[in-house]
Structure 1
Amino acid sequence: MKIFKQLLCFFFLVMVSCKNEEPVKTGIIPQPNLIEYQQGTFTVTENTVIVSENSEEAKRIANELVTFFDKNFSIKLNTSTKIQNNAIHLKISEEVEHNEAYQLKVSNKGVSITGKSYHGVFYGVQTLKQMLTPKALIKVPTLNFMNINDAPEFGWRGLMLDVSRHFFPKDSVKEVIDILAMHKMNKFHWHLVDGIGWRIQIDKYPELTKKGAWRKVKEHKKPWEDYEATYKDSGAEVYGGFYTKADIKEVVAYAAERYIDVIPEIEMPGHSEAALQCYPEFSCDGEGTSGVYCAGNDGAFEFLQDIISEVVPLFPNEYLHIGGDEVGKQSWLNCKKCQKRMLDENLENAEELQSYFVKRMEKFIYSKNKKLMGWDEILEGGLPERATVMSWRGFEGGIEAANMGHDVVMSPGSPLYFDHNQGKSEFEPPSWGGYNSLLKVYDFNPVPDVIAADKRHHILGGQANLWTEQIKTLSHVQYMMLPRLSALSEALWTNPNQKNKEKFIKKIDIHFDRFKELSYNFAGSALSPDYEVVYNKADNDFTLVLKNELGINEIRYTLDGSEPSINSALYSAPIRYTKAINVHAQTFRKGKPIGYPLKKMFSTGFGDKCKVTYTHPYNESYSGGGDKALFNNKYANPRGDDPNWQGLPKKDFEVLIDLGEHNSLSFVGLNFFQHIGATSVMLPTQVIISISEDGKTFKTVLNKTLETVKDRDPIIKRMETEFDKQDVSFIKITAKNRGKLPDWHIRKGDAWVFVDEVTVK
């Protein structure tokens, strides 16, 4: 019998795949936990009927399918409550064990989607829609016979959107919710309140939205620099916005129809400049500049309790997030009221005062039938007994809380901060901080092994966070979400034993076409060309390897610096070279460019004999990789945390490069970095490049004074010089450090110079 089944499987291999093997068609994200295919197909036609109960919930889901088939296939389906063949049945059954689980079956009778509740049915519909898209591949709605039995691995599958730093109108928020829904995500954490913008109507305290929702726009300053709340009609240039209670209810209802819980965040006790500039009497100094509520002032607690009393009725979900992170405690230490509170409550330090603050608010929130959730700093000084921790500073806070018996949502900055870069290219749009690639997100596991086995059930799941310091538009929001949210959805939904990275890569390539059809702006960063250079000592030449993160699609390139086209050389093997090359590479998908190009010059002038002498040593924390970092063919990106930058504070960057042998050169170049908005790194004031044949007599080939640039955004400044070809054995480079940061800089102290990648030809 077993042999017969194997033969049967072989004979139908061209038509359908063997049981448990998914045909290479459109793929489903997140991957179902059990999917079986059988021989045969079912085609949806105009005679197919959608069958469901007569409830409003059932009709809403049925109408979603009606719209889908009309839009994608111009098929107008009727609905009915009568069970029949040639139908798509939406059913409820107690036999389905999990509220979010669903069963999807395709047979000669049609399609049936069954859930314990319509929550599960809704997810089954999302799966069906993916099996019949993108339109570029699916012209006729034909489905293989199959059985799918699916349920999520984790109950918390979320995304946080920060609307304080930049405001997004309710229709934009709804589009974010749509993207969550198509990926079977179920939590939308709405960061409504922070230091630089209050976004929710509070009737008892109208100044919060009259003034706290608006800020002065100041030249050459980011929103958080010298923040000043103001009135919309103040006469100055202002930025802001807020949601009325009606807006909130509308968004919450919209999310509920897609089975997504909305969790509001009302920040406390820190990150509260917007509120305290409106009501400074609740701060320690009476001015609100510290952005921290006075823990010794009972009025501050009453103020927050009044706010929570208005917020709670708007959000049906059981959680209320209070933030609790990055509290500047110095104002408490300087405050007589706070010091008295510490004395009265027998508190030894500011951390215990923070714990007192959080515990006091937790009791009130609990009295409103809500659970307090906070970032992992709420562990400091002692955690309230009923609190849930959202761990963002790595996994450690979540591990500690779970082992203490507290529920936890894992949200570590690496890899789940979606405001971080997702590609290495210098052409990526503005981002904040590090590098979280698509496959890094896919590999996320919210349950570290070090959590005790009997405590692992406290890990509710995971959540990505999208902070918006650098993100001003819905298009940019979508770009930072997609396709990383697709990877996260599979990391949180699919059983680890069912995850398959190679299969995911094939599916995400098809998912790109779905995004296009939905007009979503997605990142092609995982397809942007990357590189690796290897020096072949035996042959005295170099090898350039081109690749991208996913290892798919065509990479085409030129070596003369010209822009590559679909007709340019196809990369198929490593490129070997013996003289400097200008590489311009681009990935092409379906004949069109995708991702960002690679534009680099790779040198050959530095061999094993080369050595560098530093007048002033680089800082060990910013070594760039050591003495050879200046010519290792690894270019640093426009981020201060890129490990390829070599940096030193206060003193000039001054090096003598001994090439170890004569080289016939006509060009020297290198890169410098500046990011005023986030670092103390500034461009040098002057760059001097000199060359010598004997190491004694030097000829200056570049002496350039640089103008001060006050732009807060990251800058890579390329300094290069061309000269008549000549024998060169030594190169001397000096970059003048300005010493101290200028008065207008947002920081105080020493200026740094960051340098990388000296190139010659």
Structure 2
Amino acid sequence: MDFSRLTQIILLLVVTACSHTKPPKMGVIPQPMEMNYQPGTFKINDKTVIVVDSSFEEKQLTEEINSFLKDNFNIQLEISRSPQENAIHLVKAMEVAPNGAYSLTVGGDGVTIKASTGQGIFYGIQTLAQMLSPKTEVKEPVLNYVQINDAPAYEWRGMMLDVSRHFVPKDSVKKVIDILAMHKMNKFHWHLVDGIGWRIQIDAYPELTRKGAWRKVKGDKKPWEDFEIASKDAEGEVYGGFYTKEDIKEIVAYAKERFIDVIPEIEMPGHSEAALQCYPEFSCDTEVITGVYCAGNDDTFQFLQNIISEVVELFPNEYVHIGGDEVGKGSWLKCNKCKKRMQQENLQTAEELQSYFVRRMEKFIHSKNKKLIGWDEILEGGLPERATVMSWRGVEGGIEAANAGHDVVMSPGDPLYLDHSQGKSEYEPPSWGGYNNVLKIYDFNPVPKDIAPDKKHHILGAQANLWTEQVKSLSHIQYMMLPRISALSEAIWTKAEKRNREYFINKLDVHFDRLYEKGYNYSGSSLTPDYDVSYDKVNKAFNLTLQNELELYEIRYTLDGSNPTMQSELYSAPIEYTTSIELNAMCFRNGEPIGYPLKKIFSTGFGDQCKVIYSNSYNETYSGGGDRALFDNKFAIARGDDPNWQGIKEKDFEVLIDLGSLTELSYAGLNFFQDIGATSVMLPTMVIISISKDGENFETVLDEVIATQEKREPIIKHIGSNFKKQDVAYIKITAKNRSVLPEWHLRKGSAWLFVDEVSVK
């Protein structure tokens, strides 16, 4: 960290704290509205008492305090109803707003947390716990005198967890709720139902969990490939699980104790393959069950109403989520019952039929004293008057709904989908979709400027979504949540004018230790080194800049391919090089590596005079940046949509690189990509690399058959060869395309080759 940045942070701490004495190194996330420090300290000891206002339920809140103090300081406090000194006072104060607001005061007689509701007291306790942690910073329970006044900026602060793709055990769900609670989040959207699995017990329809909760495991295929439901005791390997009603009651109660509402999602009318394979009579009268409920069958609505009637008994919060996204409406247009319904209701399009479906279910849900909420596709064809919209396809749907007077929860895939990658390293665990890093989420504003001023109150807040196509374990769930949920918590709790990105980054330094002490598997992606390369034409030298997203901690590196240690060179200024280097860089925090390494060969053998002659031209859609893309020192990451990949369909990759002059080399190689799970891009079957001094006589330095890999996850494979050091003027590279995808591939048709960055040294 440079001195100017350090000075900024120190000044910011002083301004934020308004203190006469410097507070301990700490950081409350999300940032409170007001924090004013005064001289003096108060120490909690075994004589301290928790004094609870008679208006509050004693056990719930006092256990939260004592559990923390026991774990961190081995202190257990007595409980009292009588005010006294040397105490932690939990006081009912009606003048404090009822939306989770609280005040926290530390003074000579102890700690006082005031709120008009138990929820506010709970949030004050979370702040107190962060002020007394982590153990690496807080050795004793000593608090600086401080006055905190705090309240959330938005009423909806949530996260969705998908348990349909991969079932998440009950205890793991509780741990997810714990993470939300420590960040003052208050909504847990539980995606219980989708086409891949049904996860909630419904007494009226036992087949939904007897069969719909289980599916056959078919080799290395993904669950949605050749999907087939099966009972738990079916022959062969099966996968799945579901929550009994008692499980759900237990989780809902657990969340309630942490002031979190659990919102169930029961998908309709699409994404319903699991349900319709159990009860096909509610599908359209077409040859194939498409996973879309028949909108022309009154029995379909009775089926769903019976399900909703059981669901609402389990979830006391005011919302029921019906999904409503990505409905394949083709079966409706072929179905006789649906066509008849459209005639009867004077509906002209499939979108209007979807609106009919949603309106009909909304009326029933309203009759149960609940509110319908759905993804922004429920706008299509017309929105029910009382419906709430969750905008995921960007913010446009939310803008439209809010301006029309509907409540909205902003949940755009960019940047709030946590199944998306949070780092660029090829070592990242499997992810889905785009790229959403920590600071991108921190900068999110739930209220776009296109919403009319008198409609802004319709933006209830925001939530992140974690779909689990690629996420199979609690450890992976935590990795995808943290620290991104920390960033979101501040983005939707703290008013924009009170947020400060630099201060948040500084607080994360402390917060990482809190997460570690709780045993959470947080991601170090934001600390993985990234790079930028520039060329100084005057000095004919390259400059390599290293940084990570948060610009925190030391980066150490080697240039000989060895793994960096704390004894390796400390990065402090751009690395100048005039010959090729093999960089291996790593971030270190408190002497230990964190994040992933950056391993790249940065070449110098390609000057301005270098030319690339293609036998088969690359596809213009996947140009990689043009003819010089193969040596621009921009390495594509393990995503098919990375613009640095150069793509060729069906044909072989054949290039002749004219270096323009003799260059002494001893190595040549390049990167190839494969992602069977999401693309038609496969590794080549063979790679041949040849070198020449004159462009006529070539020496083959690599002739390698590449083994077929059926791995579904993305692969970046670097293929190259060392050879005797010699003068080289031309490099010829041929990579054989298999042309047609193999029979076992989940797609059919032409195969693609993706290549990037020829490296020489």
TM-score by length of 1: 0.96
Q: Shift of residue 370 of structure 1?
A: 1.1
Shift in Å, 1:731: 1.9
Q: In the alignment, is residue 629 of structure 1 matched against residue 640 of structure 2?
A: no
Whether the aligned pair in 1 keeps the contact of 2:35 and 2:146 (CA below 8 Å) is yes
CA displacement 1:532-558 (0-9 Å, x = unmatched): 111211111111111111111111111
| 3-state SS of paired residue (2:424) | coil
Tell me by how many angstroms 1:218 deviates: 0.4
Task: Look up the SS of the partner of 2:708 in the other structure.
Answer: coil
Aligned letter for 2:416? Answer: L
Q: Confirm or deny that 1:252 pairs with 2:257.
A: no
Structure 2 residue aligned with 1:344: 344
Question: CA offsets per residue over residues 441-490 of structure 1, 9 Å max, x none?
Answer: 11011111111111111111010000111111101101110010000000
Q: 2:725 corresponds to which residue?
A: 725
Inter-CA distance 58–286: structure 2 relative to 1 (3 Å threshold): farther
Secondary structure at 1:456's aligned position in 2? Answer: helix
The answer as to whether partners of 2:72 and 2:135 remain within 8 angstroms in 1 is yes
What residue is the counterpart of 2:459 in the other structure?
459
**Retained in 2: the 8 A contact 1:53–1:59?**
no
The one-letter code matched in structure 2 to 1:420 is H
Question: Secondary structure of the residue that 1:304 maps to in structure 2?
Answer: helix
Residue pair 1:670, 1:755 contacting (<8 A) in 2 also: yes
Alignment check: 8 A CA contact 1:687 1:733 kept: yes
Seen in structure 2, the aligned counterparts of structure 1 residues 17 and 471 have a Cα distance that, compared at 3 Å, is closer
Contact 1:273 1:288 in 2 (8 A): no
Calculate percent identity across the aligned residue pairs: 69
Aligned residue for 1:268, secondary structure, equals coil
Could you report, residue by residue, the CA deviation over 1:600-633 in whole angstroms, capped at 9, with x for unpaired residues? Answer: 1111111111122223332233222222211111
Q: Distance in 2 between matches of 1:242 and 1:55?
A: 38
**Counterpart-to-counterpart distance in 2, 1:277 and 1:17:** 60
Residue equivalent to 1:690: 690
- Which residue is equivalent to 1:588? 588
Q: Which whole-Å CA distance do the structure 2 matches of 1:317 and 1:538 have between them?
A: 67
CA distance in 2, matches of 1:220, 1:27: 45
Residue of structure 1 equivalent to 2:7 = none
Q: Report how far residue 727 of structure 1 moved.
A: 2.3
- 1:207 corresponds to which residue? 207
For residues 287 and 705 of structure 1, the distance between their equivalents in structure 2, rounded to whole angstroms, comes to 45
Query: For 1:693-708, what aligned pairs fall within 5 Å after superposition?
Result: 693-708=693-708
Q: Distance in 2 between matches of 1:367 and 1:287?
A: 35
Q: Which amino acid aligns with 2:105?
A: K
Q: Distance in 2 between matches of 1:366 and 1:258?
A: 27
The one-letter code matched in structure 1 to 2:274 is A
- Verify the 8 A CA contact 2:21 2:39 in the aligned structure 1: no
Post-superposition offset of 1:20: 9.1
CA distance in 1, matches of 2:380, 2:19: 53
Q: Which residue of 1 aligns with 2:174?
A: 174
Distance 1:22 1:316, change over 3 A: farther
**8 Å contact 2:286–2:334 — kept in the other structure?**
no
Distance 1:379 1:629 in 2: 43
Distance in 2 between the 1:672 and 1:372 partners? Answer: 47
Shift of 1:352: 1.6
Residues of 2 paired with 1:697 and 1:347: CA distance? Answer: 73
Over residues 403-431 of structure 1, what are the superposed CA-to-partner deviations in whole Å (9 max), with x where a residue is unaligned?
11111111111111101111111111111
Question: Structure 1's 513 and 293: CA in aligned 2 closer, same or farther, altered over 3 A?
Answer: same
Amino acid at match of 1:161: L
Q: Tell me the CA shift for residue 671 of structure 1.
A: 0.8
Per the alignment, residue 296 of structure 1 pairs with 296
Q: Secondary structure at the match of 2:57?
A: helix
Instruction: Confirm or deny: 8 A CA contact 1:431 1:470 kept in the other structure.
Output: yes
104-113 or 726-735, which moves further after superposition? 726-735
The letter of the residue matching 1:649 is K
Give the Cα separation in 2 of the matches to 1:442 and 1:689. Answer: 46
**Counterpart secondary structure, 1:696:** coil
Paired position in structure 2 for 1:164: 164
Partners of 2:144 and 2:267 in 1: CA distance: 50
SS in 1 for 2:739: coil
CA–CA separation in structure 2 for the residues paired with 1:20 and 1:351: 63
Q: What CA RMSD, in Å, does the superposition of the two structures yield over aligned residues?
A: 1.7
Provide the C-alpha distance between the structure 1 equivalents of 2:357 and 2:717, rounded to a whole number of angstroms: 47
Aligned-partner residue type, residue 311 of structure 1: V
SS at match of 1:267: coil
Q: Partner residue of 2:648?
A: 648
Relative to 1, partners in 2 of residues 1:613 and 1:333: Cα closer, same or farther, differing over 3 Å?
farther
User: Residue 720 of structure 2 aligns to which amino acid in structure 1?
Assistant: E
* 1:148 Cα offset (Å): 0.6
Summarize deviations over 1:287-338 as a string: whole Å, max 9, x none.
7631111112222111111111110110011111111111112222222222
Q: Quick check: 689-698 or 87-96, which moved more?
A: 689-698
Q: 1:505-537 deviations in whole A, cap 9, x for unaligned?
A: 111110010011111110011111111111211
Give the drift of 1:375.
0.8
Deviations 1:186-239 (CA, angstroms, capped at 9, x unpaired): 000000001111000000100000000000000121011000000110121000
2:620 equivalent in structure 1: 620
CA distance in 2, matches of 1:324, 1:53: 45
Match of 1:470 in 2: 470
Tell me if structure 1 keeps the 8 A contact 2:285–2:337: no
Which residue is equivalent to 1:609?
A: 609
- What amino acid does structure 2 have at the position aligned with 1:32? P
TM-aligned CA distance change 1:310 to 1:641, over 3 Å: same
CA contact (8 A) 1:688 1:702 kept: yes
Q: How many residues are paired up?
A: 749
Partner residue, 1:126: 126
1:60 match: 60
Q: SS at 1:684's partner residue?
A: coil
| Cα distance in 2, alignment partners of residues 680 and 397 from structure 1 | 32
Counterpart of 1:512?
512
> Which range moved further: 749-758 or 643-652?
643-652
CA distance in 1, matches of 2:244, 2:467: 22
Contact 1:21 1:36 in 2 (8 A): no
| Structure 1 residue 53: Cα displacement | 3.0
Q: Which range is displaced more, 43-52 or 745-754?
A: 745-754
- Corresponding position of 1:189: 189
The letter of the residue matching 1:62 is: T
Cα distance in 2, alignment partners of residues 188 and 354 from structure 1: 27
Deviation at residue 701 of structure 1 after TM alignment: 2.5
> Quick one: distance in 2 between partners of 1:243 and 1:401?
34
The aligned residue for residue 658 of structure 1 is 658
SS in structure 2 at match of 1:314: coil
Q: Distance in 2 between matches of 1:392 and 1:131?
A: 35
1:66-108 CA distance string (max 9 Å, x none): 2221221122211100011111100111111233100001111
In 1, Cα distance between the equivalents of 2:185 and 2:424?
27
What does residue range 487-566 of structure 1 map to in structure 2 within 5 Å?
487-566=487-566
Q: How far, CA to CA, are the matches of 1:196 and 1:314 in structure 2?
A: 23
The one-letter code of the counterpart of 1:745 is H
CA distance in 1, matches of 2:17, 2:372: 49
> Secondary structure at 1:557's aligned position in 2?
strand
Alpha carbons 2:41, 2:145 under 8 Å: kept: yes
Contact 2:18 2:35 in 1 (8 A): no
**SS, match of residue 601 in structure 1:** strand
Deviation at 1:697, TM superposition (A): 3.4
> What runs of 5+ residues in structure 1 fail to find an aligned partner?
1-9
Match in the other structure for 1:746: 746
CA distance in 2 between partners of 1:113 and 1:756 (Å): 58
Q: Which residue of 2 aligns with 1:7?
A: none
1:520 maps to amino acid: Y
1:401 matched residue in structure 2: 401
Alpha-carbon contact 1:279-1:288 (below 8 Å) kept: no
Distance 1:648 1:338 in 2: 44
Report the Cα distance in structure 1 between the residues aligned to 2:147 and 2:100, rounded to whole angstroms.
17
Which secondary structure state, in structure 2, belongs to the residue aligned with residue 508 of structure 1? Answer: helix
Instruction: Tell me the CA shift for residue 134 of structure 1.
Output: 0.5
Matched position secondary structure for 2:670: strand
Q: Which residue of 1 aligns with 2:6?
A: none
- Check if 1:46 corresponds to 2:57: no
Residues in 2 aligned to 1:25 and 1:568: alpha-carbon distance in whole angstroms:
29
**Which stretch shifts more, 309-318 or 694-703?**
694-703
Cross-structure match for 1:274:
274
Q: CA deviation at 1:54?
A: 4.4
Q: Do 1:277 and 1:287's aligned partners in 2 also have CA atoms closer than 8 Å?
A: no
Match of 1:392 in 2: 392
Q: In 2, are the aligned partners of 1:690 and 1:732 still within 8 Å (CA)?
A: yes
Residue 624 to residue 21, structure 1, CA distance change in 2 (3 Å): farther
Q: Which runs of 5+ in 2 are unaligned?
A: 1-9
Whether the 8 Å CA contact 1:671–1:716 is kept in 2: the answer is yes
Q: Determine if contact 1:280/1:288 at 8 Å carries over to the other structure.
A: no
| 2:19–2:39 CA contact under 8 A, matched in 1 | no
